[in-house]
A and B are shown apart, each in its own frame.
Chain A
Amino acid sequence: MRTLILIALSILLLPLVVRPAIATEIWIFAIFGLGLNLLLGYTGMLSFGQSTFFGSAAYVAGWLLKHYGMNVLAALGVGVGVGALSALLVGYLCVQRSGLYFIMLTFALNQLFYFIAYQWTSVTGGEDGMPGIPRPVLLGLNFQDPLTYYAFVVVLFLASLWLMKRIVESPLGKILQAIRENEVRAEAVGYNVPRFKLLAFVLAGAFSGLAGVLYAMLFGIVPLEAIGFVFSGNVVFATLIGGSGSLYGPIIGSFVFIWLSESVSTIWARWPLLLGVAFVVVVLFLRGGVVEAWSRLMLWRFSKQKT
Chain B
Amino acid sequence: MLYALMGLGLSLITGVLNIPNFAHGALFAVGAYLLVSFVGIVGNFWIGLIVAPLGVALLGLLIEWAGIRRLYTAGHDYQLLFTFGLALILNELIIVVWGPVGISHLPPALLRGGVDLGFTFYPKYRLFVMLMAGLLVVLTWLFLEKTRYGAIMRAGIENKEMVSLLGIDIHKLFTVAFALGAYLAGIAGALTAPIRGLSPGMGVDMLGIAFVVVALGGLGNLLGAIAAGLLIGVAQAVVAAYWTEASTAVIFAVMAAVLLVRPQGLFGIR
How many residues of chain A are within 8 Å of chain B by beta carbon?
Answer: 40
Complex: how many Å from CA A100 to CA B86? 18
Chain A residues touching B, majority SS: helix
Minimum CB–CB distance from A180 to chain B (whole Å) comes to 12
- Contact partner, B85, options A93, A100, A108, A275, Cβ 8 Å: A275
Q: Are A103 and B71 in contact (CB under 8 A)?
A: no
Stretch among A11-19, A109-117, A148-156, A248-256 lining the B interface: A109-117
Q: Are B78 and A283 in contact (CB under 8 A)?
A: yes
Residues of B within 8 A of A115 (CB): 248-249, 252
B57 contacts the other chain (Cβ, under 8 Å)? Answer: no
Q: Are A101 and B215 in contact (CB under 8 A)?
A: yes
Q: Are A280 and B82 in contact (CB under 8 A)?
A: yes
B111 contacts the other chain (Cβ, under 8 Å)? Answer: no
A193 contacts the other chain (Cβ, under 8 Å)? Answer: no
Least CB separation from A98: chain B residue: B270
A53 contacts the other chain (Cβ, under 8 Å)? Answer: no
How many residues of chain B are within 8 Å of chain A by beta carbon?
Answer: 48
Complex: how many Å from CA A230 to CA B25? 14
Residues of A within 8 A of B260 (CB): 93
Q: Known contacts A101-B219, A236-B77, A276-B88; can you find 11 more A-B pairs with CB under 8 A?
A: A100-B19, A104-B14, A236-B80, A236-B81, A236-B84, A273-B96, A277-B89, A279-B86, A280-B89, A283-B67, A283-B81
**A-B CB contact pairs (8 Å), 9 listed:** A46-B80, A96-B263, A103-B20, A104-B215, A105-B259, A272-B91, A276-B90, A276-B91, A284-B82
Residue ranges of A at the interface with B (Cβ–Cβ < 8 Å): 40, 46, 48, 93, 96-97, 99-101, 103-105, 107-109, 111-112, 115-116, 119, 229-230, 233, 236-237, 240, 244, 270, 272-273, 275-280, 282-284, 287
Per CB-CB distance, the 5 closest pairs between chain A and chain B, nearest first, are A279-B85, A276-B88, A112-B252, A273-B92, A111-B208
